Amino acid sequence: MNKNIILYGAILIFGIAAPFIFPAFKVQLSILCILIILAITWNVQGGEMGYNTFGNILFYGLGMYLCASVQVGMFFPLGEWTEGGGEKTFVHTPAQFFQGFAVGLAVAAVVPAIIAGLIGYSILGLRGHYFAICTLGLGVAAGEISGGIEIIGAGQGFTTPPFPNVDRLEARGEFFYFCSFIVLVFTFLAVKAIYSTRFKLVLNAIRDNEDKAEAMGIQTMKYKIIGWMISAFFCGLAGGIMGGLVGYIDSTDVAFDGREMGVFMVLMAILGGKGTLWGPVIGATLFHIFKEGFWTFFLGWQYVALGVLIVVIVIYFPEGIMGWLREKYPERFGEVVDEADRKAQVTLK
Amino acid sequence: MLTLQAVLDGLLLGILFALIAYGMALQWGVMNIINIAQGDLVILGGYIAYFMYLYGIHPAWGVIVSPIIMYFVGVVIYKLVINKVVDRDLFISILATFGISILFMQLMNFAFGADVVLANSGYGTTMLFDNSVTLPNSKIFSAFISIVFAIGLVIYMKKSKLGRAIRATAQNARAAKILGVDTEKVYAATFGINAALCGVAGALISITFTIHPYMGLPYTIRSFMIVIVAGLGNLPGVAMSGMGLGVFEEFADYILGTEFRIGSVFLLLVLILVYRRFKLSRKREYLK
């Protein structure tokens, strides 16, 4: 317990100090926070519940569009804003910007959760690969359809309000970093709290054998929907912040980017280890470092590298880092190991 | 008369989709994998025909050349990746082939450029019903070739030794192994045949429509949809649902506008799955 407090304290202090220690990497650190949030939320669904989804990108993109639309629409006519392509005809005052952003984030979190609840009953009735393909279809369909809607910019994209400079203080990086960091801490604590309750056990029961769980009297559909809503809530939040951070929303390349973000979140959670609390965090961090390295040094070949990485991780490393550690050091994970038994098993193999 | 035009266009298009879906059903039934890279194999096959066109050979020959090349591409993919995911969870195969799909997309983007291209076959058009319906001859040609290949494959599966081995493996891989079928070879051949079918379809698509490195995923989704509507191993069903999808798409294009065409295909997939789910849940079952 004591060790844990020191660990968490150290991470928290590092998180707060990071933008000042590495001022050049503020944006990268914010993106890292967003990636960790996405990996954690994917893990709630894919790792704990066993419902492997490609469709959480739907909530991420939805959150992005909603946050930006609310932020603009609260003060100015939305249609004219997007038509002008973010021309400086309307300028947010700092108060308007922050108010709009706060309300926008709230909407970006709540509405995706509600939508997840509404569509959950129909879609969570599918299992296994049908669920995976169905959610893949949902994500792509959302991208294609939002690319045809005029009021949110259609094909030409949506420019989010520029960050206002209060007294010429350039604090954009810090603002978005702390936003994403606070949401990350909030997400982590919320998920940690959830994982210590009966709810997590129910989710695991659904993953291990849904029919038996149902036979034991668990209302699986209810729990599945709640699980998806939790996932959607944090995905929407992450999307809202990411929209402000990137500053420009395109339907298929930024918001509903199934080819990048949608796969990244699956990959990060699997790389770190599905079904663990720390796995997605570690996986996302490693993945981000790897990705940035590749994106910088092998520009153009990044998708080739990404494709190879997916294949290699999925085939040779499906248990992830935490799974590997668990196999190697089971004592650390609270499993009681009989040494003689373990040796016997090894020789049997 | 636009309705008739859309229906005919849709039917001819749907036959092509059915050919791709047939490959999908084959590998799904035999090897129990879902190949997300299916569409990218189609596009790659299309680029082979396009390159022949660039070097002055009539692209219709691509129908012969492309499947031969694609067969070996398929076998190589099988040896490198697929044979490690055959007996595993379906999600693993989905994700692994998703990786292959991304890889292919980008490699094709490097090799062939990001332009939308078309291999001009130089076939004219046919006017029907007092010139009110225009059918490009290339579409009729492609539908005809698709039917020829599909029938050929069905006969091959029924009569040849390899075809029998493939069907035996699909029914029970273990029993087939006991009876001396080299299932590893059968799997490789199945994936190769699937890739070859994609090659034919791709060559035909490059003649009739356009190809682009990133256009693969919709073809995968279409073939997946056709297979789940028709069921595995139901060939007339695959042909029917393929044509149905083609007609649906033409009408969606015509009514909603071209920008919603792909979106409506993906949405239709979601709707079909949800419909099936509700229908089965009445019997307390789920899609397996």
Residue B255 at interface with chain A, using a CB cutoff of 8 Å = no
Using the predicted structure, report yes or no on whether residue B119 has a pLDDT greater than 80. no
pLDDT digit of tens for each residue in chain A (349 aa)? Answer: 577 788 888 888 888 887 788 777 888 888 888 999 999 999 888 888 888 888 888 899 888 888 888 888 877 777 676 666 555 567 777 778 888 888 888 998 899 999 999 988 888 888 888 888 888 888 888 888 887 777 776 667 777 777 777 666 667 778 888 888 899 999 999 998 988 888 888 988 888 888 888 888 888 888 999 999 999 999 999 988 888 888 888 877 777 777 778 888 888 888 888 888 888 888 899 888 888 887 777 777 777 888 888 888 888 888 888 888 887 777 776 666 666 666 666 555 4
Q: Position of tokens 């990048």? A: A260
A140 contacts B102? CB cut-off 8 A: no
Best mutation target, B83, B249, B266, to test chain A (most A CBs within 10 A): B266
Catalogue all structural domains in chain A, each as residue range(s) with its CATH number.
Answer: 2-318 (1.10.3470)
Q: Are A315 and B96 in contact (CB under 8 A)?
A: yes
Chain B contact probe: residue of A260, A310, A313 with most B CBs at under 10 A:
A310
Joined tokens for residue B139? 């579409």
Three-state SS at A249? strand
Sign of CA pseudo-dihedral A48, B269, B227, B104: negative
Chain-centroid distance of CA A234 in Å reads 7
Query: What single letter denotes the amino acid at residue A62?
Result: L
Substitution target from B110, B273, B283 for chain A, most A beta carbons within 10 A: B273
Domain presence at residue B76: yes
Q: Is B116 on the interface with A (CB under 8 A)?
A: no
* Cα separation, A264 vs A245, whole angstroms: 18
Q: Which chain A residue lies closest to B87 (C-alpha atoms)?
A: A315
What confidence score (pLDDT) does residue B212 get?
85
Q: What are the chain A neighbours of B284 within 8 Å (beta carbons)?
A: none
Mean pLDDT for chain B?
Answer: 85
- Per-residue model confidence as pLDDT tens digits over B138-174: 888 888 888 898 899 889 988 999 989 988 888 888 8
CB–CB of B91 and A129 under 8 A?
yes
Mutate: best of A267, A314, A319, partner B, most B CBs <10 A: A314
Which residue in the set B106, B263, B286 is minimally distant from A307, CB to CB?
Answer: B106
Is B257 within 8 Å of A301 when comparing Cβ atoms?
no
- Cα–Cα distance, A138 to B215 (Å, whole number): 17
Contacts of B90 in chain A (CB under 8 A): 128-129
A191 vs A207, A276, B210, B215, B245, CA distance in Å?
17, 11, 47, 38, 42
* Structure confidence at residue A303 (pLDDT): 79
Is residue B273 a part of any domain in this protein?
A: no
In a domain, B56, yes or no: yes
Q: Are A228 and A45 in contact (CB under 8 A)?
A: yes
The pairs formed by A193-197 with CB atoms below 8 angstroms and a separation of 24 or more are A194/A44, A194/A230, A195/A48, A195/A277
What is the total count of domains within chain B?
1
Distance CA A187, CA A156 (A): 33
DSSP annotation of A43 reads: I
- Contact residues, chain B, for A138 at CB < 8 Å: 266, 270
Q: Classify residue B51: in a domain, yes or no.
A: yes
| Distance from C-alpha of B13 to C-alpha of B244, rounded to nearest angstrom | 10
- Average pLDDT, stretch B4-27? 87
Nearest CA in chain B to A135: B270
Q: Which domain holds residue B58?
A: 2-259
- Residue B242 falls within a domain, yes or no? yes
Q: Which helix (H) or strand (E) holds B134?
A: strand B133-136
Contact B273, A127 (CB under 8 A): no
Q: Is residue B280 pLDDT above 50, yes or no?
A: yes
Cβ-Cβ pairs closer than 8 A, A with B, add up to 129
**DSSP structure class, residue A197:** S
The pLDDT confidence band at residue B196, using thresholds 50, 70 and 90, is very high
Q: What is the reported pLDDT for A349?
A: 45
Partner residue facing A127 (CB), from B105, B264, B287: B287
Give the CATH number for residue B55: 1.10.3470
Domain contains B46:
yes
pTM recorded for the entire structure: 0.87
Whole-number pLDDT of residue A113: 92
The answer to whether residue B279 sits within a structural domain is no
B75 pLDDT tier (thresholds 50, 70, 90): very high
Residue B95's CB is within 10 A of a number of other CB atoms, namely 25
C-alpha to C-alpha distance for B143 and B207, rounded to whole angstroms: 12
- Structural domain includes residue B236: yes
pLDDT of residue A157: 74
- At position A22, the amino acid (one-letter code) is F
Q: Which residues of B are less than 8 Å from A308 in CB distance?
A: 99, 103
CA distance B85 to B83: 6
**Per the CB < 8 Å rule, is B95 touching A301?**
no
Would the CB atoms of B91 and A259 count as touching at under 8 Å? no
What local confidence, expressed as pLDDT, does residue A86 receive? 54
Q: Flag whether residue B254 sits within 8 Å of chain A, measured between CB atoms.
A: no
